[in-house]
Amino acid sequence: MPNRLAKTSSPYLLQHQNNPVDWYPWCQEALEKARAQDRPIFLSIGYSACHWCHVMEHESFENEQIAAILNQSFVSIKVDREERPDLDQIYMHTVQMLTGSGGWPMSVFLTPDCKPFFGGTYWPPENRWGRPGFAHVLSAVIDAWKSKRSQIEEQSEQITSQLVQACRGPESVESDLDQTWIEKADRWLKRHFDATFGGFGGAPKFPHTMDLGLMLDLHCSHPQAERANVVRTSLDKMAAGGIYDHLGGGFARYSVDERWLVPHFEKMLYDNALLASLYADAYRTFGDASYLHVVRETLGYLTRDMTDTRGGIYSAEDADSEGEEGKFYVWSASEISNVLGVDRAAPFCEAYDITEVGNFEGQNVLNLPKSLEQFARLRNLDLPALQLQFAADRVRLFEHRKLRIRPGLDDKVLASWNALAIIAYAKGYRASGDVGMLSSAQAIAEFFYHNMRRSNGRLWHSWRGGQTNHDAYLDDYSYLIEALVELYQADWQTKWIAWALELAACLVEHFQDTPGGFMFTADDAEQLIARNKDVADHSVPSGNAMAASGFLGLAMLTNRNDLYQIAENALRSAAILMQDSPQAAGQSLRVLNRLLNKPTTLILVGEHPNDEWTRAIELCHRSYWPHALVAARLESERSPDAQSDPLNQLFHMRLPIQNQVTLYVCRDQTCEPPCVGLNTIQQRLQSL
């Protein structure tokens, strides 16, 4: 008999609908039951693509004896961390305070008024690997609840008090924003860079997209071989490693080793969007065609396998299929020989590290220990011919892989992660000129507007199968503002800026914190035991940092000083973090670098569409300037209603000269003499 989770829309919660545990979603009914029966709450938080969440479900939540204990003595609540990041953030703070670390599945015990008193992550069903068994943990909590109630309540009050303080975040500073914070981060990242395998630190190894983005920005501002090496080595090694899907495109969440060889096989939308954006920016900086290849394949994966027919992009694919981690992705040498034939399989297996012994639990994860250029040179093979042969081989293996049972799909659409996808597709278009990428970015934005925007302009956080859920959070608004600014720079439609300004007004009204920056939840959201203000990057960029970037972009395009001040205040809220923990502040430091280096607006105008205009647009698209925004308009498309045009002031009196395409380069509300004609524009853009 299904439990209450059967009535939810979250794929993660639905995975647990047939557990014998009497699960509730987070709701007033569950909280009222805990208060009425004076029971402790067992809160379990995870997500659909989480391997160890599946393990704990199979071991404990499907266990009739353990379920009976939970049902008799607790009110059990299951939460999808991706749908309720507000709850996840608060109780993750708790687990980190109690244990010194965190992760998922997250398991927290609460008093009936939701105050935490004990917690951890994964517990096996019985004592194992130095971990207490879950049944033992439950027994100890039940005993303490009965015999040490006053101590539990005292402890929960202390934890909650510390939690409220921790959720406030660091204090804002009133002193000047400091260039030395960027310099400190630059030194820290260089010092912790893995010169052999790329990335930062050891196993497990995550992409650190925001940190690599910061290094790329610094290199663009002040070219330096060491910075370029940090970025390029990391991008090259990730794209060659097993963390990258060499057949279907896209990246797994992280590598369990320092070499990027064995991935944790789940594929998350946010990782792939962030990495596609980074590779697109790197291509526009270095001109390396291999980076554009990664962009095309990664975005191709999202389009092919993760896009809803109505335009939104799904959240994740699981690490597991048929109950085994990575089964969909790994290969035996004999299977590759059967698909390709012995003669073609031999060089492919040698190049892609496929052996009889295997590199992962007796199977093989495809990776390139040597680049194809190195492989061809060592074997005295013709590189173009080898590339064509391997491309055909990969297609055959991909088609064969399609016959396997796919990993589980989390088909909910999250606002914040889809905003990251808009940025990725828009940047991919600017790097490649592929109009399909632009169409995808526009389709996601239109999906947002028609499916996840309310009549009052507020946003929903999640959507699945036509059903919307949960009020939007800071990340949803701030990421989408940034995405709309990026999309405007790809297609020059002012409606995106008008919408971004509407969202900015919502943020200011409902999320802004008085000292500066933004709270994670709105002022009229559900009142939890704490209201969180998070300024640090995690697996996704800080919402405050993205708000600072979006408001700075809008200020540059609209000449509104109030928006500029909001951006600066948001950065001040992260000042202590930028100063003391640069490894957690990559996105804030990227925005600070823009702000301190005189943000530049490039204003391109022309009379009518022609070859010169098209070429000028391509020049603006193909180069990466971290400090510059590009605005463009044809006189033939200027709106007659100037009052409704959010960019009217930007283009006012900036007209094409002598009927030629003209570029205005403006900093600090001051413009240089206009660049007239394509050749002059090209020379000026190169000097940037």
Q: 371-379: long-range contacts (C-beta < 8 A, 24 or more apart)? A: 371/236, 371/240, 375/350, 375/351, 379/347
pLDDT-derived band at 650, boundaries 50, 70, 90: very high
- Share of residues in the chain with pLDDT > 70 (%): 100
In 3D space, the residue among 110, 112, 144 whose CA is nearest the CA of residue 34 turns out to be 112
The rounded distance, in Å, linking the Cα atoms of 163 and 93 is: 7
**The amino acid at 127:** N
pLDDT per residue over 539-552, tens digit each? 999 999 999 999 99
pLDDT-derived band at 40, boundaries 50, 70, 90: very high
pLDDT at 239 over 70: yes
For residues 447-471, give the mean pLDDT: 96
pLDDT at 643 over 80: no
Query: Across all residues in the chain, what is the average pLDDT?
Result: 95
Q: Are 284 and 624 in contact (CB under 8 A)?
A: yes
For residues 342-359, give the mean pLDDT: 97
Helix (H, G, I), strand (E, B) or coil at 343: helix
Query: How many CA atoms lie less than 13 Å away from 42 in the CB half-sphere?
Result: 24
Secondary structure (H, E, C), 71-122: HHHCEEEEEECCCCHHHHHHHHHHHHHHHCCCCCCEEEEECCCCCEEEEECC
Q: Are 296 and 432 in contact (CB under 8 A)?
A: yes
The rounded distance, in Å, linking the Cα atoms of 508 and 522 is: 10
Pairing assessment for the beta strands 106-110 and 116-120 based on DSSP bridges: antiparallel
Rounded to 5 degrees, φ, ψ at 584 are -110, 5
pLDDT-derived band at 177, boundaries 50, 70, 90: very high
Please tell me the predicted confidence (pLDDT) of residue 127. Answer: 86
pLDDT at 416 over 80: yes
pTM, entire model: 0.96
For residues 407-425, give the mean pLDDT: 97
Please tell me the predicted confidence (pLDDT) of residue 642. Answer: 65
The rounded distance, in Å, linking the Cα atoms of 426 and 488 is: 9
For residues 188-194, give the mean pLDDT: 97
Helix (H, G, I), strand (E, B) or coil at 606: strand
Region of poorest pLDDT, from 574-578, 596-600, 640-644:
640-644
The rounded distance, in Å, linking the Cα atoms of 133 and 60 is: 10
The rounded distance, in Å, linking the Cα atoms of 33 and 75 is: 7
pLDDT at 209 over 90: yes
Please tell me the predicted confidence (pLDDT) of residue 150. Answer: 94
Secondary structure (H, E, C), 507-519: HHHHCECCCCCEC
For residues 167-189, give the mean pLDDT: 90
The rounded distance, in Å, linking the Cα atoms of 132 and 153 is: 23
Q: Which residues contact 126 (CB under 8 A, 6 or more apart)?
A: 133, 134, 135, 136
For residues 629-635, give the mean pLDDT: 95
pLDDT at 641 over 80: no
Neighbour count for residue 639 (Cβ, 10 Å)? 13
Please tell me the predicted confidence (pLDDT) of residue 605. Answer: 97
Exposure pattern of 578-599 as b/e (b: 16+ CB <10 Å)?
A: bbeebbbbbbbbbbbbbbbbeb
Helix (H, G, I), strand (E, B) or coil at 164: helix
pLDDT-derived band at 653, boundaries 50, 70, 90: confident
Which residue has better confidence, 161 or 668?
161
Pairing assessment for the beta strands 41-46 and 106-110 based on DSSP bridges: antiparallel
Q: Are 468 and 507 in contact (CB under 8 A)?
A: no
Q: Angle CA(574)–CA(575)–CA(576) in degrees, nearest 5?
A: 95
Tokens 């693509």 — which residue? 49
Region of poorest pLDDT, from 52-56, 107-111, 435-439:
52-56
pLDDT per residue over 29-39, tens digit each? 999 999 999 99
pLDDT at 262 over 90: yes
What residue ranges define each of the domains in the chain, with the CATH number in brackets? 4-167 (3.40.30.10), 179-322+410-596 (1.50.10.10), 329-403 (no CATH), 600-687 (no CATH)
pLDDT per residue over 511-563, tens digit each? 999 889 999 999 999 999 999 999 999 999 999 999 999 999 999 999 999 99
CA distances from 384 to 379, 390, 435, 454, 651 (A): 14, 10, 27, 53, 48
Q: Lay out the sheet containing 316-317: strands in order across.
A: 267-268, 316-317, 409-410
pLDDT per residue over 583-615, tens digit each? 999 999 999 999 998 899 999 999 999 999 999
The rounded distance, in Å, linking the Cα atoms of 503 and 621 is: 26
Chain centre to alpha carbon of residue 409? 18
Q: Strand pairing partners for 205?
A: 255
pLDDT-derived band at 170, boundaries 50, 70, 90: confident
Tokens of 235: 């991008």
For residues 662-679, give the mean pLDDT: 91
Helix (H, G, I), strand (E, B) or coil at 326: coil
Tokens 């959070």 — which residue? 473
pLDDT-derived band at 130, boundaries 50, 70, 90: confident
Tokens 């609540």 — which residue? 77
The rounded distance, in Å, linking the Cα atoms of 330 and 327 is: 6
pLDDT at 169 over 90: no
CA distances from 397 to 252, 420, 464 (A): 19, 30, 32
